[in-house]
Amino acid sequence: MRDVVITGIGSTVFGKHRDLPIEVLAVDAAAQAIVDSGVDRERIGALYLGNFVSGPLNGKEVLAGIVADSLGLPNIPCTKVEGACASGGIAFRHAWLAVASGLCDAVLVVGVEKMMHASTVEVTSALNCAMDNENDGTTGLTFPGLFGLAWVAHAQRYGTTRGQVSAVVKKNKQFGVTNTLAQMGRKLTDNEIEESTEICDPLRLFDCCPPSDGAAALVLTAKSMKSSSSQSPVDVLFSAQTRGAARIAGHPDMCSFDATVQAAKLAYAATGLTPQDVDVVELHDCFSIAEIVDSEDLGIVPRGKGGVWAQDGRTGLGGEVTINASGGLLSKGHPVGATGVGQVYEVVRQLRGEHPNQVEGAHVGLTHNLGGTGVACTVSILRRGT
Amino acid sequence: MRDVVITGIGSTVFGKHRDLPIEVLAVDAAAQAIVDSGVDRERIGALYLGNFVSGPLNGKEVLAGIVADSLGLPNIPCTKVEGACASGGIAFRHAWLAVASGLCDAVLVVGVEKMMHASTVEVTSALNCAMDNENDGTTGLTFPGLFGLAWVAHAQRYGTTRGQVSAVVKKNKQFGVTNTLAQMGRKLTDNEIEESTEICDPLRLFDCCPPSDGAAALVLTAKSMKSSSSQSPVDVLFSAQTRGAARIAGHPDMCSFDATVQAAKLAYAATGLTPQDVDVVELHDCFSIAEIVDSEDLGIVPRGKGGVWAQDGRTGLGGEVTINASGGLLSKGHPVGATGVGQVYEVVRQLRGEHPNQVEGAHVGLTHNLGGTGVACTVSILRRGT
């Protein structure tokens, strides 16, 4: 496998882009990434596009080809990949593999979703495509239901308190204030969180990520390829993709997602790194409790201590590890197919030393993207370029 | 790149499966392929699933993970890929790449679609996701419109007659009679074809492939891997994936799809074979005229001679080359995401010498899968195992 670097990044603001067609969002982010990388577009050998529900919500598929056409890329393989909320992470992994395997010298990866124009019923219905409705749907569970159960289970087993969970919300919403790409940064009090609309007990409105429109993009190149970028390349050390149970009843433990545990193990084993080597993490906080569960599954925080660490500020700026300095899904937003690519975008900004919520001396970063009821997961590890 | 073989194949009947959930179709075909290959499922290192519109038509995504879970596969990367009608071909290519690159020793590829439960309006609306509606939609063109234009252009330039186009329909519908997997085999006369319902002048009902339900699956393994299959392995020599214009106005020539021309060039160059080396072809005859255009784009038939060759029986059994002995999309059916995988299934049966419409001495086979308005294409070349 060849060494791979990220030489270019691009992103739209995450939020409302009601009047722009979905491919315009993707092209905007992609064009930024190409310019940032300085790569000659004739050298781009493949395009991977992560998207979840452009069919149901935008009446449009073959987005990978449409985006490549709009960008004037050559006659290259253009592939949409889908794995529910992990679609972006899967696209990133395939771009990495295409370069690492020697198939291409440069690959463009784009993640995109457009949801805000649709009604709540339409969006909920589309998001439920990530669940095996014929099985889980009959239980009445939706995604807030699943993560509400996780919260209750975590509280019962580890004594996790509402105040600890709210600490995650406060941290991520605060990060969003200074990340100009974020959809809804806000300084919140415990009271505001806990008195917000009940969604699915114990989850309140501020415990849930919003639907979003947005796109993010990256250019990956072989490290050996001469780059004209003025930016420091960031090393992609590994990207793991795993599968967990496809139905809720298949999860042996509501306090953990096996796909995350396995993907993290693969990534640490392949890189020789440990969780303690990681300085910055962008993880899949689709709900506040998810950040606690994910941080434990990744080994970043000791099992059962996710809430305590959040409340003690150990996962904030200046803590042992900084989680979701972008604001995370909770605050930056969750344009589903874009999320996994956007996470890498944020970690690259950290490793370049140019993040609005910069972690001093950030050297190693990790991204974690989780799909459906934990059915798909990617974990990728990046390092400041050498 | 390592040598790759196909050791197992599976398929449902293409047609109506109204009462089966989409993943059951996929699991049926996949289980057949696994048994046929004799591979230990613990050795399967990845799953690629080709599907186009399970979101809009089945309210279900993350099908790759759902199918793997149902099959009891290990915790492996499971990825849905989408490129409109070329989704299955793209899934096959990625499975081939995963084995050829050394990433996996064995990979399962599945293609699936379920459309027959939906109304004509719902199906048409879903199929139009393969077109850039915001651009092409405003011209009033649908897919029958696009291929109707191709017919008119081909007739004007090359003198192609309705009788020649009907010869394609008669051949493929006849092949469907003896292929028990086919949706609508039938012995047809010119009159029956030409007096069938007008769809979009000059296309009549029998010139158009039907919507279908169905799934097909394959197991690909490294040639060096010891196999317990009783079947002769089939060599995968190469699989090319290309992009063409994403909008109809971007096509410089209505008598040709550039993505096909480029993919074929890549496949011939990589294998050192010529069109004359190919004995059996499964190509993308979504409409009768498409078989004529495709056969010329692939170099299988001289430019402008597609109609003449069909009428003269040179593309039927006993001809220079046999095209769509399965019945093709016109007769076997077109469960979109399954089609590209089903084409490989059919060619493997030919190269094993067990096809219901067997081509004597078939040694080299080619599959061609085309998506959208020619925006995505795959061409793969297979050879009888050595």
- Residues B35 and B17: their CA atoms lie apart, in Å, by 22
Quick check: A243 and B371 CB within 8 A? no
Dump pLDDT digits (tens) for A258-293. 999 999 999 999 999 999 999 999 999 999 999 999
Query: Domain check: are B172 and B182 in the same one?
Result: yes
A97 found inside a domain: yes
The pLDDT value given to residue B9: 98
The pLDDT value given to residue A229: 73
Query: Domain check: are B11 and B114 in the same one?
Result: yes
Query: Domain check: are B302 and B327 in the same one?
Result: yes
Helices and strands in chain A: count of H runs, count of E runs: 13, 12
Query: Domain check: are B100 and B161 in the same one?
Result: no
Quick check: B79 and A94 CB within 8 A? yes
- Residues A241 and A158: their CA atoms lie apart, in Å, by 29
Query: Domain check: are B181 and B223 in the same one?
Result: no
Give the CB-side neighbour count of residue A24, counting CA atoms within 13 A: 8
With 0-12 CB in 10 A as exposed, 13-18 as middle and 19+ as buried, what is B6? buried
The yes-or-no verdict on residue A142 having pLDDT over 90 is no
B127 found inside a domain: no
B126 found inside a domain: no
Q: Does A68 touch chain B (CB under 8 A)?
A: yes
- Which residue range forms the structural domain that includes residue A193? 134-207+236-384
* Nearest CA among A31, A44, A64 for reference residue A105: A44
- Residues B21 and B19: their CA atoms lie apart, in Å, by 7
Confidence of residue B262 (pLDDT cuts 50, 70, 90): very high
Query: Domain check: are A171 and A291 in the same one?
Result: yes
Quick check: A246 and B70 CB within 8 A? yes
Q: In this prediction, what percent of chain A has a pLDDT beyond 90?
A: 92
Dump pLDDT digits (tens) for A300-357. 999 999 999 999 999 999 999 999 999 999 999 999 999 999 999 999 999 999 999 9
Contact criterion met (CB below 8 Å) for B82 and B54: no
| CATH classification of the domain holding B343 | 3.40.47.10
Give one DSSP letter per residue of A320-347, joined into a string. Answer: SSEE-TT-HHHHH-B-HHHHHHHHHHHH
The yes-or-no verdict on residue A52 having pLDDT over 80 is yes
**Shortest CA gap B83–chain A (Å):** 5
The yes-or-no verdict on residue A133 having pLDDT over 90 is no
Confidence of residue A180 (pLDDT cuts 50, 70, 90): very high
* Nearest CA among A89, A200, A83 for reference residue A150: A200
The pLDDT value given to residue B309: 98
**How long a stretch of residues is chain A?**
386
Q: Average pLDDT over chain A, rounded to whole?
A: 96
With 0-12 CB in 10 A as exposed, 13-18 as middle and 19+ as buried, what is B125? middle
The pLDDT value given to residue B139: 83
**Shortest CA gap B79–chain A (Å):** 6
The pLDDT value given to residue B230: 72
Confidence of residue B142 (pLDDT cuts 50, 70, 90): confident
Q: Is the dihedral of CA B293, B294, B297, B298 positive or negative?
A: negative
The pLDDT value given to residue A132: 86
Contact criterion met (CB below 8 Å) for A348 and A226: no
As a whole number, mean pLDDT of residues B86-107 equals: 98
The pLDDT value given to residue B39: 95
- Residues A205 and A79: their CA atoms lie apart, in Å, by 35
Confidence of residue B165 (pLDDT cuts 50, 70, 90): very high
Domain tally, chain B: 2
Query: Domain check: are A186 and A329 in the same one?
Result: yes
- Residues B370 and B375: their CA atoms lie apart, in Å, by 8
The yes-or-no verdict on residue B174 having pLDDT over 90 is yes
The yes-or-no verdict on residue A135 having pLDDT over 90 is no
As a whole number, mean pLDDT of residues A355-371 equals: 98
> In degrees, to the nearest 5, what angle opens at C-alpha B358 toward C-alphas B352 and B363?
50
* H or E element in which residue B89 lies: helix B87-100
Residue B214: both structure tokens together? 């169905």
The pLDDT value given to residue B140: 81
As a whole number, mean pLDDT of residues A170-181 equals: 98
> In degrees, to the nearest 5, what angle opens at C-alpha A85 toward C-alphas A79 and A89?
55
Q: Average pLDDT over chain B, rounded to whole?
A: 96
Residue A307: both structure tokens together? 């809430």
Contact criterion met (CB below 8 Å) for A90 and A50: yes
* Nearest CA among B181, B171, B174, B190 for reference residue B319: B171
Is A94 tagged catalytic? no
Is A208 tagged catalytic? no
Q: Which of B94, B154, B251, B334 is catalytic?
A: B334
Query: Domain check: are A65 and A139 in the same one?
Result: no
Dump pLDDT digits (tens) for B13-58. 999 999 999 999 999 999 999 999 999 999 999 999 999 999 999 9
Q: Which residue has the tokens 């292929």?
A: B179
Dump pLDDT digits (tens) for B218-257. 999 999 988 777 778 999 999 999 999 999 889 889 999 9
Quick check: A79 and B241 CB within 8 A? yes
Query: Domain check: are A158 and A219 in the same one?
Result: no
As a whole number, mean pLDDT of residues A92-96 equals: 98
Query: Domain check: are A86 and A167 in the same one?
Result: no
Contact criterion met (CB below 8 Å) for A176 and A183: yes
Contact criterion met (CB below 8 Å) for A212 and A115: yes
Contact criterion met (CB below 8 Å) for A371 and A85: yes
Integer distance in angstroms from the first to the last C-alpha of chain A? Answer: 18
The pLDDT value given to residue B136: 85
Quick check: A243 and B65 CB within 8 A? yes
Taking only residues 196 to 225 of chain B, the set having a beta carbon closer than 8 angstroms to any beta carbon of chain A reads: none
Helix, strand, coil content of chain A in percent (nearest 5): 40, 20, 35
Q: Does B52 touch chain A (CB under 8 A)?
A: yes
Quick check: A242 and B126 CB within 8 A? no
B270 found inside a domain: yes
As a whole number, mean pLDDT of residues A42-51 equals: 98
Q: Does A42 touch chain B (CB under 8 A)?
A: no
**What global pTM score does this model have?**
0.98
A178 found inside a domain: yes
The pLDDT value given to residue B97: 98
Question: Which segments of chain B are extended strands (E)?
Answer: 4-11, 44-50, 78-82, 106-113, 198-200, 203-204, 214-222, 234-243, 280-282, 322-323, 364-371, 376-384
The yes-or-no verdict on residue B333 having pLDDT over 80 is yes
* DSSP reduced 3-state for A386: coil
Confidence of residue A138 (pLDDT cuts 50, 70, 90): confident
The yes-or-no verdict on residue A228 having pLDDT over 80 is no
As a whole number, mean pLDDT of residues A372-376 equals: 95
Quick check: A62 and B376 CB within 8 A? yes
The pLDDT value given to residue B32: 98
Q: Of A147-156, A224-233, A372-381, B245-254, which range is least confident?
A: A224-233
Query: Domain check: are A279 and A323 in the same one?
Result: yes
A228 found inside a domain: yes
Task: List the single residue in A with minimal CA-CA distance to B371.
Answer: A62
B161 found inside a domain: yes
The pLDDT value given to residue B386: 78
* H or E element in which residue A10 lies: strand A4-11
Nearest to B90 among A73, A79, A84 (CB): A79
Nearest to A69 among B79, B242, B250 (CB): B250
Q: Of A104-113, A224-233, A248-257, which range is least confident?
A: A224-233
- Residues A323 and A313: their CA atoms lie apart, in Å, by 10
A129 found inside a domain: no
Query: Domain check: are A163 and A43 in the same one?
Result: no
Global ipTM:
0.97
Integer distance in angstroms from the first to the last C-alpha of chain B? Answer: 18
